[in-house]
Amino acid sequence: MFNSLKRIITLGWQNLARDGGIAVANVFIIMIPIMLTSALFVLKDVSNFLVKELESKADISIYFNDSVSRDDILKAEDNIRSIPGITEVEYKSKEDALADFTARHGNDPVLLQSLEEVNENPFLPVLNINAASTAQYEQVAALLDGDQYKDMVSKVNYSEKKDAIEAIFSLTEGAQRVGLYLFIILGVISLIVTFNTIRMAILSRGMEIGIQRLVGAARWFIRGQFLVEGLIFGILGALFSLFVTMIVCWYLNPSVAKLLPGMDIWSNLMANLWTLFGLQLAIGAALGTISSMIAVGRHLKV
Amino acid sequence: MIKFNDLTKIYTSRGANNVVALDGISFDVQQGEFVSVVGRSGAGKTTLFKLVLAEEKPTNGCIMFNDQNIHKLKHGKLNGLRRNIGAVFQDYKLLPNMTVYGNIAYVMKVIGASDAEIKRDVPRILEIVELSEHGKNYPTELSGGECQRVAIARALIHRPEVVLADEPTGNLDPYHTLDILKLLLKINEMGTTVLLATHNREIVNKLKKRVVTLEKGKIIRDEENGRFAL
């Protein structure tokens, strides 16, 4: 048994090595779906980053009357935080708001002069709120409409931002859906291409399989060789894909960081390198072995 | 050793007429016999050999090999049976990217021979077929006759009881034809049963062995020391 296993592995490797050109073509073909998955793996981080960035812009602000004490505002903050799905609540006193404004418009002398002419701090204390979906914003708006907060709140900018917030959420959801559909379509195409290429390669070896059958080789012995071959294609495809993914991420990292400050695709890749390699290996091995098994099965019917 | 009992093979395909390749033939082959199966193209010679190798299933009748119905054997036993039959074809069926030695050793590897057995047996069989100096050559570097001798060596390497040679001289000139014929006789003298399918009148007449003549899937003649008469 051990001898047969050893021979299957040796023959599988020798068959593959005997026709280097076809082996290289198979490895490259198998790399297509693996690279597609790898790209999705890396782009998932970029897309999450972008979605987060975009969704953080979809916030609402609650402006409190000047007379409301800091303690009351912080109590309101606690109440808002207790609503499920609220991701962030930030309190800004009127002093913080003024400091922010001054810092932001430090280069605009006209604005700063206007502020001086007012001769008092025109800003109101505010709570900036971020939520996971538009439903939570509705809940916050409803809470603040209640009697408890009616006299405290000067203004909630939800109604004027509502359309923009909904547009942002539907845009991010739409982008994720389109990405998923695109992945499925490309994935199916690349699977068909991979399967057919491996099938053609095996079809060209019909005589070899025929000879093995005629001399009485067991089916599992013949299948075994192609299983080993398919497995090697998959492993090589996964290794090369990992290598290419690393090079691409390393090369693109500075440009991505410039475009999306805070995004570091290289560090993300390094942090998830083993997960990605496991995924690539699983896809490569599954594709290589399944395609080989189905293709060789046609020759073993008799 | 091999009994053909009322063997019929009909090829059916949708939208086309059925083709009767073999029509109820019956004959026996004894151990150590040399039988030439002759007939025009389409007479059923190749179909007969395919049925012996269990590459095809008969429409009716059966083939008994050492009292076992070939077509009722399970895969494991069928593999065992195939190891008892060596097959030689007109187009040699040699793997072009393997050397002569590699082509023969490949078969031994497939049937689970040890490395020591391969090293011992391949040079021996190359000597029998007089190709010892060509072990490292590739099939493309050999003549047709030499390729056929490699194919015969490959068919013999697992010491089969029977050799089926389907038009082994079909692609060869008269000189190489004689060469292959001598080799098949030598194999037969060593005790191996030989079934030769051919439409070469000259070699059949030279052999002076049993001749089974097929025409349109039927046996029309079965004679000891027969001659090619069509």
Name the residue facing A215 among B56, B107, B114 (closest C-beta): B107
pTM confidence score: 0.68
Chain A residue with CA closest to B51: the answer is A302
A207 touches B: beta carbon within 8 Å: yes
Nearest chain B Cα distance for residue A214, angstroms: 6
Instruction: Give B20's contacts (C-beta < 8 A, 6+ positions apart).
Output: B8, B9, B10, B216, B217
A22 touches B: beta carbon within 8 Å: no
CB–CB contact B95 A11 (8 Å): no
Nearest chain A Cα distance for residue B226, angstroms: 30
Instruction: Give B173's contacts (C-beta < 8 A, 6+ positions apart).
Output: B144, B145
Question: Left, alpha or beta for B20 (phi > 0: left; psi -120 to 50: alpha)?
Answer: beta
pLDDT band at B82 (very low <50, low <70, confident <90, very high): confident
Q: Which residues of A touch B113 (CB under 8 A)?
A: none
pLDDT of residue B159: 85
3-state secondary structure A194-263: HHHHHHHHHHCCHHHHHHHHHCCCCHHHHHHHHHHHHHHHHHHHHHHHHHHHHHHHHHHHHHHHHHCCCC
Distances, alpha carbon A220 to alpha carbons A100, A159, A160, in Å? 74, 69, 70
Chain B residue with CA closest to A210: the answer is B93
Mean pLDDT across chain B, nearest whole number? 89
Query: Which of A15, A211, A222 is best to mutate for the B interface (most B CBs within 10 A)?
Result: A211
Sheet holding B19-29: strands in order across? B19-29, B2-11, B60-65, B68-69
User: Residue B3: phi, psi to the nearest 5?
Assistant: -120, 125
d(CA A258, CA A272) in angstroms, rounded, equals 22
pLDDT of residue A160: 66
> Within its chain, how far is the Cα of A126 from the centroid?
34
CB–CB contact B97 A18 (8 Å): yes
pLDDT of residue B59: 94
pLDDT exceeds cutoff 80 at A290? yes
Q: Which of A121-135, B130-144, B151-165 has the lowest mean pLDDT?
A: A121-135
Chain A residue with CA closest to B98: the answer is A18
Q: Which residues of B touch A219 (CB under 8 A)?
A: 75
Q: Which residues of A touch B161 (CB under 8 A)?
A: none
Domain boundaries, chain A: 2-54+170-300, 66-151
Q: Which fold has domain B2-223?
A: Rossmann fold (3.40.50)
Q: Which of A246-250, A252-256, B107-111 has the lowest mean pLDDT?
A: B107-111
pLDDT of residue A302: 58
Q: Which residues of B touch A216 (CB under 8 A)?
A: 78-83, 111, 158
Name the residue facing B111 among A207, A208, A215 (closest C-beta): A215
pLDDT of residue B182: 87
Chain A (216-235) residues lying within 8 Å, Cβ to Cβ, of chain B: 216-219, 221
Nearest chain A Cα distance for residue B106, angstroms: 9
pLDDT exceeds cutoff 70 at A159? no
Q: Which fold has domain A66-151?
A: Alpha-Beta Plaits (3.30.70)
d(CA A105, CA A52) in angstroms, rounded, equals 26
Instruction: Give residue-wise pLDDT tens across range B166-184.
Output: 988 887 788 888 888 888 8
pLDDT exceeds cutoff 80 at A158? no
CB–CB contact A217 B114 (8 Å): no
Domain boundaries, chain B: 2-223
Instruction: Give residue-wise pLDDT tens across range A25-80.
Output: 889 988 988 998 898 888 888 878 877 777 666 678 888 888 888 888 888 888 88
User: What ipTM goes with this model?
Assistant: 0.75
Inter-axis angle of helices A158-203 and A273-297, to 10 degrees?
Answer: 40
Chain A residue with CA closest to B112: the answer is A4
Beta strands B218-223 and B210-215: pairing type?
antiparallel
pLDDT of residue A301: 67
Q: Give the mean pLDDT of B183-204.
A: 89
Classify A139 as helix, strand or coil: helix
Q: Give the mean pLDDT of B107-121.
A: 88
CB–CB contact B106 A7 (8 Å): no
d(CA B163, CA B88) in angstroms, rounded, equals 7
A212 touches B: beta carbon within 8 Å: yes
A102 touches B: beta carbon within 8 Å: no
d(CA A126, CA A165) in angstroms, rounded, equals 19
Chain B residue with CA closest to A208: the answer is B95
Nearest chain B Cα distance for residue A50, angstroms: 54
Nearest chain B Cα distance for residue A269, angstroms: 43
pLDDT band at A239 (very low <50, low <70, confident <90, very high): very high
One-letter amino acid for residue B138 of the chain: Y
Instruction: Give residue-wise pLDDT tens across range A181-195.
Output: 888 888 888 888 888
Q: Which residues of B touch A212 (CB under 8 A)?
A: 110
Burial of A177 (0-12, 13-18, 19+ CB in 10 A): exposed
Q: Which of A7-21, A227-241, A273-287 has the lowest mean pLDDT?
A: A7-21
Pick the closest to residue A165 from A89, A87, A61, A60 (CA basis).
Answer: A60
Range list of β-strands (E), chain B? 2-11, 19-29, 34-38, 60-65, 68-69, 85-89, 162-166, 193-198, 210-215, 218-223
Q: Which residues of A touch B83 (CB under 8 A)?
A: 215-216
A211 touches B: beta carbon within 8 Å: yes
Supply A193's token pair. 């291409």
One-letter amino acid for residue A89 of the chain: V
Residues on chain B bordering chain A, Cβ-to-Cβ distance under 8 angstroms: 53-56, 75-76, 78-83, 85, 87, 93, 95, 97-98, 106-107, 109-112, 114, 158
Query: Which of B53, B94, B110 is best to mutate for the A interface (most A CBs within 10 A)?
Result: B110
CA angle B117, B123, B127 (to 5 degrees): 140
pLDDT of residue A108: 81
